Amino acid sequence: MEVMKKAQIFLRVLRQNGMAAVFRRVHKSQRLRWYRRRGQKLNCRFGWRSQRPILVIESDDWGAEHIPGPKALAAIKAVDGFPAESVSNFDSLETAEDVERLCDVLNSCEDGDKKPAVITANFVMANPDYSAIRENDFRVFKPKLIDEGWNHEADGQALWREYRAGIENNLIVPQLHGIVHFCPDEWLQRLRQADAVSLKAFDWKMIGEHEDAAGIGIQSMAPIYHADAKVIKQLVNDGAQAFKRIFGMDSITTIAPCYGWRSPETEQAFLAHNIRVMQSREYQHLPGGNVKLHYTGERGPGGMLYLVRNCMLEPISAGTTVEQCISQIVWAFEHNFPAILCSHRINYTSRVATEVRDKGLAVLNSVLKQVKEKYSDVEFLSSDELVLKILSGKQTDSFV
């Protein structure tokens, strides 16, 4: 299955961008694997440890619309240049039922303190206001904040009721993923240039995914990676203010879309809003194609703290099996590291295909049950709770 998947990607990149793009993609993929291994070694040497097994689930992209449904996906797939085989084609706005069923799974498993499992849901705070953008001839980006509704959700109040129920029952802890999950200026420019994929996607009220020349990466989906310091400050300010107004609290942590952000401009902008922690993978994408490594518990020059995801729970986007995830968690616990699971929203949504959600929930349920069976004293924490655990005892730190 994995070989066939790689073959499909190879053929798609070859058809769309030529052999040179295939070589660039392979080279970039190898580089990321190398950086991941180096980051893992760095985390093994310096990462924060705990005598008690701790499990954290970090999940990105909540609130973002992306693919409206099967009809829209079929329409955009017919346009030449669209990445037809991309796994992100299953990524869609969660429904009220999706959130309810996710919370049922989380609530069905308790840790050693009789607390249910919890997911850190990193929210995108806005989607495009397509009508307003068209009225302005694609020259001005107009956002629609998630509390104002969605373009593809008939009953947004039902979804909000499930959000609130999950939050009130400590099953969902919202944190900030950003104001948007794409570069508005680049997107508007493609629309003004009459890019076929972008225009067709716009007609169906979606962004339209564009991969970089290597077939992977963050060309158009990571706004605080590409923007200059002034734009970054505005993006961070808009996202932080929207989060506080909508959820009634500050976000303590954040995760940069596609793990790409400028340092130190971006971190200074976050710190100004009391966002003191960056969730990340072992590596951070820097402008120019460079990479910076991080480890859990590391402090940046401006005081930013880093949490590094060291386990994968991505049954849809990466084909993660229960056995693979458990193996990574066991390794983390045996070395006294917290198991910080990367598990995107794509694994739990049903608008495009209900079997996607059902598979994702089944894998999540099995992982949680097996972890509790192996480690009866396991502690389920959200990202912000893990931060407080890391900083406990450090009286000089502003968190305590």
pLDDT digits 0-9 by tens, 9-36? 445 544 555 554 444 454 455 666 766 7
> Over the stretch 59-68, which tens digit does the pLDDT of each residue have?
999 999 999 9
Q: Each residue of 106-134: pLDDT tens digit?
A: 999 999 999 999 999 999 999 999 999 99
pTM over 0.85: yes
Domain locations along the chain: 2-391
The dotted CATH code for 2-391 is: 3.20.20.370
Query: pLDDT per residue over 282-298, tens digit each?
Result: 889 888 778 899 999 99
Which pLDDT band holds residue 186 (cuts at 50, 70, 90)? confident
DSSP of 31-79, one letter per residue? Answer: HHHHHHHHHHHHHHHH----SS-EEEEEEEEET--B---HHHHHHHHTS
Among 304, 221, 305, CA closest to 269: 304
Contact present, 238 and 178 (Cβ < 8 Å)? no
Helices (H) and strands (E) in the chain, counts: 14, 13
Residue of 190 and 80 predicted with greater confidence: 190
